[in-house]
């Protein structure tokens, strides 16, 4: 047996390997050199894939026309790839580890050595012998490792090449998976006549259920209430409801959070205001929870009577307007607090949809992030699995608006095609506050004192409104006045 002392031949091999960025050529040349070095029956070259499976690429210096694949852990190549150390078997026919190896019946012994760089196994070299008295040992391992130690530069070069190739393979698989997603994805895109970049995208069950219901009710003329946190897409879905409705008139938006009561009154109810502009179409009342009771009363009157009195001309104007209202706050709670008209709430609540927050539809983060990252861009960029994992682990208090801003910022600041986790901003961690209830201390109360305290607290909560307080307490207004008088409080509160 020769040794690896011929440095000229090894130097030539190193040059050849460095000049060929092809894994088949690499393992063919390497296995051929080892075969001449060891002088055994066969030397096989296996590539180790990222999932732990291995594929046979060469035999005795010759590239194979079709690669043979072994699943993860199969054969000596799979075992060595997992253990990251050499293994030999001098009785392969009785060795369970070697039972699924690729070999002929004549093979009696086999040595498998990992081709490694920086702790990563990129392949294995398998030496097979048909000699019954051939016993592989540590000396044989040292011979091959001595060769590999002198080929670190081409091995490192091949490792980098395979990493890039495997990433491209992964990206191709993701592209194919994304094409399948597109067949089931619900994408709402509105731009004509409305603000640009209006998209709602999702695959999650909760999102699809909301969209499905919105489609079903769009053709009816009932008012619709859309509730949900800031940035979930309430206004976008409201616009889409108008599109699906088939109403001939336009779609007009009233932004209640941007105007005070007087401004909103003129904006809605003047002779050329939004109510008139939306005649025959849809009026989206955005953030209706910000309206005053006065404005709510006028909206209710328009809904009930189908007409309004113009604030500038006092003209009575007939209306045919479909109302779609949005709210970040829960209107039912505002009704209980006396801040929203109960009758208006029940009319709007005929069809009520709650759009889930992004934290409740984590399955949509990936598809939304990829859309926001590349929508309208000339050159597409790719999110790595690490970046996607980081995005999915964040709780997104700003919902789709926040995700969109993060992806657009990341696109601008990241050079190159691939977005790594390190390219994303450091997200704040959600702080979960555990509510610790203080122990209840016993205080002596008569039933009279307890009733008095509860009635006074109820009145304070309702700003002294005795009618609402009586209703809340389940008693008549007359009974409430009698009780306040018995407490000696009625005169003081009436002054």
Q: What rounded mean pLDDT belongs to the chain? A: 86
Residues contacting residue 405 through CB under 8 Å, at least 6 positions apart: 398
Top-confidence residue, 255 or 433: 255
User: What order of strands is seen across the sheet that includes strand 120-129?
Assistant: 62-70, 54-59, 42-48, 120-129, 109-117, 87-89
The predicted pLDDT at position 118 comes to: 86
pLDDT single digits (tens) 438-492 = 555 556 667 777 788 888 888 878 777 888 888 888 888 888 888 887 776 665 4
Q: Which long-range contacts (CB under 8 A, 24 or more apart) does 58-62 make?
A: 58/24, 58/27, 58/28, 58/30, 58/31, 58/32, 59/31, 60/31, 60/32, 60/35, 61/28, 61/29, 61/31, 61/32, 61/33, 61/35, 61/36, 62/28, 62/32
The predicted pLDDT at position 262 comes to: 93
Arithmetic mean of pLDDT, 266-275: 95
Confidence band for 84, pLDDT divided at 50, 70 and 90: very high
Strands 282-286 and 251-255, by their bridges, are parallel
Confidence band for 174, pLDDT divided at 50, 70 and 90: low
pLDDT value at 193 more than 80: no
The predicted pLDDT at position 391 comes to: 93
- The rounded distance, in Å, linking the Cα atoms of 24 and 21 is 9
Structural tokens at position 128: 């097979």
φ and ψ at 289, to 5 degrees?
A: -65, -15
pLDDT value at 493 more than 80: no
pLDDT single digits (tens) 36-54 = 999 999 999 999 988 889 9
pLDDT single digits (tens) 478-490 = 888 888 877 766 6
Strand partners, 323: 283
The predicted pLDDT at position 340 comes to: 95
The predicted pLDDT at position 258 comes to: 82
- The rounded distance, in Å, linking the Cα atoms of 92 and 198 is 65
Arithmetic mean of pLDDT, 420-448: 69
Which burial class, exposed, middle or buried, applies to 444 when counting CB atoms under 10 A from its CB (0-12, 13-18, 19+)? exposed
Structural tokens at position 388: 């996607």
* Percent above pLDDT 70 for the chain: 87
Q: Which long-range contacts (CB under 8 A, 24 or more apart) does 368-373 make?
A: 368/201, 368/202, 368/400, 368/403, 369/403, 369/407, 370/178, 371/199, 371/201, 372/403, 372/404, 372/407, 372/408, 373/407, 373/408, 373/410, 373/411, 373/419
Place of tokens 């309206």: 291
Helices (H), 327-375: 331-336, 342-348, 365-374
Arithmetic mean of pLDDT, 187-207: 60
pLDDT value at 431 more than 60: no
The predicted pLDDT at position 129 comes to: 95
- The rounded distance, in Å, linking the Cα atoms of 19 and 15 is 6
pLDDT value at 190 more than 60: no
- The rounded distance, in Å, linking the Cα atoms of 386 and 373 is 16
* Percent above pLDDT 90 for the chain: 55
Place of tokens 């190159």: 416
- The rounded distance, in Å, linking the Cα atoms of 64 and 45 is 10
pLDDT single digits (tens) 366-398 = 989 998 999 888 888 999 988 998 998 898 998
Arithmetic mean of pLDDT, 329-346: 94
pLDDT single digits (tens) 138-160 = 999 999 999 999 999 999 999 98
pLDDT value at 188 more than 60: no
Q: Which domains does the chain have, with CATH numbers?
A: 7-165 (3.30.450.40), 205-354 (3.40.50.300), 358-423 (1.10.8.60), 447-494 (1.10.10.60)
Arithmetic mean of pLDDT, 61-83: 89
- Other residues' Cβ atoms within 10 Å of the Cβ of residue 485: 11
The predicted pLDDT at position 235 comes to: 93
Least confident of 39-53, 188-202, 306-320, 341-355: 188-202
Residue of 328, 353, 330 lying closest to 223 (CA atoms): 353
- H/E element holding 286? strand 282-286
Confidence band for 4, pLDDT divided at 50, 70 and 90: very low
pLDDT value at 161 more than 90: no
Confidence band for 181, pLDDT divided at 50, 70 and 90: low
């Amino acid at each position: 047996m020769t040794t690896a002392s011929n440095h000229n031949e090894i130097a030539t091999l190193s040059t050849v390997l460095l000049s060929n960025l092809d894994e088949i050529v690499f393992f063919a040349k390497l296995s051929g050199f080892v075969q001449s070095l060891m002088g055994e029956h066969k030397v096989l070259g296996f590539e180790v894939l990222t999932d732990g499976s291995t594929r046979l690429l060469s035999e005795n210096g010759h590239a194979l026309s079709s690669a043979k694949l072994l699943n993860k852990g199969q054969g000596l190549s799979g075992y060595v790839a997992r253990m990251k150390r050499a293994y030999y078997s001098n009785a392969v026919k009785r060795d369970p580890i070697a039972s699924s190896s690729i070999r002929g019946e004549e093979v009696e012994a086999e040595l498998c050595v990992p081709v490694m760089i920086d702790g990563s196994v990129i392949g294995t070299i398998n030496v097979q012998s048909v000699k019954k008295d051939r016993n592989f040992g540590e000396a044989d391992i040292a011979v091959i490792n001595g060769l590999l130690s002198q080929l670190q530069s081409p091995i490192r070069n091949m490792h980098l090449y395979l990493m890039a190739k495997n990433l491209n393979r992964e990206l191709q698989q993701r592209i194919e998976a994304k094409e399948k997603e597109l067949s089931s994805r619900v994408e709402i895109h509105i731009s004509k006549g409305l603000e640009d970049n209006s998209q709602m995208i999702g695959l999650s069950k909760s999102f699809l259920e909301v969209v499905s219901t919105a489609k079903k009710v769009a053709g009816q003329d009932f008012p619709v209430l859309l509730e949900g946190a800031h940035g979930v897409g309430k206004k976008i879905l409201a616009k889409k409801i108008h599109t699906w409705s088939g109403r001939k008139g336009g779609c007009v938006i009233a932004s209640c959070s941007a105007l005070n009561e007087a401004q909103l009154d003129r904006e809605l109810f003047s002779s050329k205001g939004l109510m008139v502009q939306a005649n025959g179409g849809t009026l989206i009342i955005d953030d209706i929870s910000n309206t005053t009771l006065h404005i709510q009363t006028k909206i209710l009157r328009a809904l009930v009577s189908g007409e309004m009195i113009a604030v500038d001309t006092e003209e009575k104007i007939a209306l045919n307007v479909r109302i779609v209202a949005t709210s970040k706050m829960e209107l039912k709670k505002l009704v209980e607090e006396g801040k929203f008209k109960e009758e208006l709430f029940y009319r709007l609540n005929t069809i009520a949809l709650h759009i889930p927050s992004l934290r409740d539809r984590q399955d949509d983060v990936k598809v939304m992030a990829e859309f926001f990252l590349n929508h309208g861009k000339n050159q597409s960029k790719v999110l790595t699995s690490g970046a996607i994992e980081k995005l999915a682990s964040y709780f997104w208090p700003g919902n789709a608006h926040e995700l969109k801003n993060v992806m657009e910022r990341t696109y601008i600041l990241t050079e190159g095609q691939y977005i790594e986790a390190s390219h994303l901003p450091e997200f704040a961690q959600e702080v979960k506050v555990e509510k610790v209830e203080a122990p209840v201390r016993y205080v002596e109360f008569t039933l009279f004192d307890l009733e008095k305290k509860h009635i006074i607290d109820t009145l304070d909560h309702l700003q002294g409104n005795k009618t609402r307080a009586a209703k809340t307490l389940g008693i008549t207004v007359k009974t409430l006045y009698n009780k306040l008088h018995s407490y000696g409080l009625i005169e003081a509160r009436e002054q």
